[in-house]
Structure 1
Amino acid sequence: MNSETRISRLGRFAGRFCREENGNSTLEFAFYFSIFFLVLAAGVEIAYMNLRHAMLERSVDRVVREIRLSTGEIPTYEQVRLSICDQAVIVDDCQNNLMLEMVEVDPRNVTMMEPNPDCRNAQEEPRPVRNFVHGKDNDLMLMRACLKYKPMMPSTGFGKELNLDTEGYAQMIVTAAFVQEPR
């Protein structure tokens, strides 16, 4: 069989293949299903991220309220972190991935916290707390909680757009302000 015969056979096969309509619905299904799945995955990722953020914010607010209203003992950093993690039920591995900062702020000369929060993930070595100061009576306090978490689907849709660290963790930051009640 010479090369011209092979080329003509290949040309006839390609012509028949292009005219044939069998399998069109399969191609359409595969194309539209993959797009639908990416949109669905992004929606699930966003919903779970919002739920995780809401639970973290709620637990920080509740703990800040306890600190603000408590007139007895002053809780330690570990007690505050443990209390936040106990109340943020949907947050995975909170004990190892949550870092807190609390600073006293002068209301007449406001200086905000350092712009880059102190965050760490469970893969990193533990490091000392950067700033956790209990205020005196009637002091304005700022508390910032930084949680590192692993996205559910880091390679699809919204998860791909998150700012991830080298181990694949994204960060979530919650800030609360309160005035320390007199003890």
Structure 2
Amino acid sequence: MTGSARRYSLTRIRSALRLFRKREDGNATVEFAIVIPAFLFLLMNTVELGMITIQQSMLERALDQTVRGLRLSTGVPKQHNEIRDEVCSRSGFIRNCGTSLRLEMVQVDPYAWSAVDPDPDCINRVEDVQPVRSFVTGASNELMFIRACMAIKPVFPHWGLADDMDNDLDGRIRLYATSAFVQEPR
């Protein structure tokens, strides 16, 4: 290639690049491609947080209503499965409650306080279901501490918020609700 042909080709390339730089045909597409992932991320995390909040609220409300019934009942103390079924029947929005809810109830002495284990057990669906951790029905005028732990499947398991939550090996999010009550005299 001769020198003048080379200059002519460089001039054509520069001219084509100048024209390309002045065109505005793809501006909206570029902006859309940059902004839409951020909006989708925010939208999906908002939906996920809403679902977690609803299920947490329903679990706490169901446990509070069940504990109120336990506190006021003066009959035979209820066992683990009966209490679990009551919590599940009142929880409403929580899927697979009967198989994913785990209850722990222990007697606490208010005069000789000993801390309750801060790490509740949740059902881990990867492993076998564990037996009840500790479930003491209590007698009259005893202070009882009850804790419910539930493992729920996130709506978007690998997108943002669900990865940062307290997850088990199966990727389920753990929700906790606690309450304390005094057994009424019989």
**How high is the TM-score relative to the length of structure 2?**
0.87
C-alpha contact (below 8 Å) 2:124/2:169 kept by paired residues = no
Alignment partner, residue 46 of structure 2: 43
Do residues 76 (structure 1) and 53 (structure 2) align?
A: no
Do residues 172 (structure 1) and 155 (structure 2) align?
A: no
One-letter amino acid of the structure 1 residue matched with residue 111 of structure 2: R
C-alpha contact (below 8 Å) 1:140/1:177 kept by paired residues = yes
CA distance in 2, matches of 1:80, 1:14: 74
Structural mapping, 1:1-183, within 5 Å: 16-183=19-186
1:151-177 residue CA offsets vs partner (Å, 9 max, x unmatched)? 111222322321322211110111100
C-alpha contact (below 8 Å) 1:121/1:149 kept by paired residues = no
CA RMSD after TM alignment: 2.1
Tell which structure's C-alpha radius of gyration is larger: 2
One-letter amino acid of the structure 1 residue matched with residue 119 of structure 2: N
Q: Which runs of 5+ in 2 are unaligned?
A: none
One-letter amino acid of the structure 2 residue matched with residue 100 of structure 1: L
What is the percent sequence identity of the aligned residues? Answer: 38
Task: Mark the CA change 1:13 to 1:152 in structure 2 (over 3 Å): closer, same or farther.
Answer: farther
Q: Which runs of 5+ in 1 are unaligned?
A: none
Of 43-52 and 97-106, deviating more is: 43-52
CA distance in 2, matches of 1:158, 1:50: 13
Of 93-102 and 116-125, deviating more is: 116-125
One-letter amino acid of the structure 2 residue matched with residue 103 of structure 1: V
Q: How many residues align?
A: 180
CA distance in 1, matches of 2:41, 2:141: 51
One-letter amino acid of the structure 1 residue matched with residue 99 of structure 2: N
One-letter amino acid of the structure 1 residue matched with residue 54 of structure 2: L
**How high is the TM-score relative to the length of structure 1?**
0.89
